[in-house]
Amino acid sequence: MANTTSDGDAILFTEEQEALVLKSWNLMKKDSGEWALKFFLKIFEIAPSAQNLFSFLKDSTVPLAQNPKLKAHAKTVLVMTCEAAVQLRTAGKVVVRDSTLKKLGAVHVKSGVVNEHFEVVKFSLLETIKEASGEMWSEEMKGAWSVAYDHLVAAIKNEMKP
Amino acid sequence: MANTTSDGDAILFTEEQEALVLKSWNLMKKDSGEWALKFFLKIFEIAPSAQNLFSFLKDSTVPLAQNPKLKAHAKTVLVMTCEAAVQLRTAGKVVVRDSTLKKLGAVHVKSGVVNEHFEVVKFSLLETIKEASGEMWSEEMKGAWSVAYDHLVAAIKNEMKP
């Protein structure tokens, strides 16, 4: 299976930035499902209509906070962003398998995801990591996660052209 | 000039709810320009692309926090939401002048405002009032502002049909 990237040139992601992402990830790892859920509940607090983007939420009668599918999905997104950071450092680019990236692009187009959604997700991600990191939180940590997220989104958007 | 409302039936907005809105507004009144600016900076923190919706920001070289037009606009929105609350109590409906409401609807359609924007604005408004209210903040206060905002938005959306 071939690997693809959304960016032609290698991205500069410093050792320090990678360390900052991993440092905060290590704090969340043990309860990553809970943090991921908090992350997505923040998204829906800001933009309740974003719930309509998730097929598994449409006919669900389970409260959001108890929805195992939501928790699993949220964890995937959180882990993927963290992995993007590691890849930026080791490979200078976001590496996602061809098939995965195409599927991610297609599913985001089909669900009706627009730019504003990616922005709300980014804000919610950073707020969640801020809360999880406590005193460890810094502008540099925010920057490192932001870069990783932005490049992951760029890779997905690159496959969102209809 | 005739008055119009977006809702047919009178809305129940209690005396207590009106008092909660006015209580927090009294805390912000003296520095309402500053609080309004904070409110809009929060919107742009969450959704940076929302800046493109404002014609006066497009070619501006002034930093957001120093933009007098943004501050004036933000204050208008904040005051309008507060007035909506008072109207819900006194008139049981949001009362905006016919011409104003039509203009508001048209300008929101023209700018490309979608549902998600109204949601991000609501979240940012509530976060700002929470910060301004300090220990006075409560679920009831949040609820009162939410109802006022929702009805104002409903009135605007009602005029947004192309």
pLDDT band at B59 (very low <50, low <70, confident <90, very high): confident
pLDDT digits (tens, 9 = 90+) for A129-154: 999 999 999 999 999 999 999 999 99
- Domain assignment of residue B57, given as a range: 15-159
Is B85 domain-assigned? yes
| A116 vs B45, B49, B123: nearest CB | B49
CB contacts, 8 Å: A47 with chain B: 116, 119-120, 123
Helix/strand/coil for B140: helix
Radius of gyration of chain A (CA): 15
Is A76 domain-assigned? yes
The CATH number assigned to the domain holding A31 equals 1.10.490.10
Residue A120: closest C-alpha in chain B: B46
Contact A47 B116 (CB under 8 A): yes
Is B65 domain-assigned? yes
pTM score of the predicted model: 0.85
Total number of domains in chain A: 1
| Least confident span in B89-98, B108-117, B119-128 | B89-98
Contact in structure between B12 and B89 (CB atoms under 8 Å)? no
CB contacts, 8 Å: B123 with chain A: 45-47
Per DSSP (E only), the strands in chain B are 3-4, 96-97
What tokens appear for A44 in the block? 């829906």
- DSSP β-ladder status, A3-4 and B96-97: unpaired
Is B4 domain-assigned? no
CB contacts, 8 Å: A46 with chain B: 46, 119-120, 123
List the one residue out of B57, B27, B60, B24 whose CA is nearest residue B40: B57
Query: CA B43 to CA B31: how far, in whole Å?
Result: 19
Average pLDDT on A120-127 reads 97
Percent of all residues in chain B with a pLDDT value above 90, rounded to a whole number: 64
How many residues in total does chain A contain? 162
Is B31 domain-assigned? yes
Is A148 domain-assigned? yes
Angle, helix A115-133 to helix B32-46, in steps of 10 degrees = 100
Is A117 domain-assigned? yes
CB contacts, 8 Å: B47 with chain A: 116, 119-120, 123
- DSSP β-ladder status, B3-4 and B96-97: antiparallel
Is B8 domain-assigned? no
Contact in structure between B153 and B96 (CB atoms under 8 Å)? no
Q: pLDDT value at position B40?
A: 97
What tokens appear for B122 in the block? 């609501």
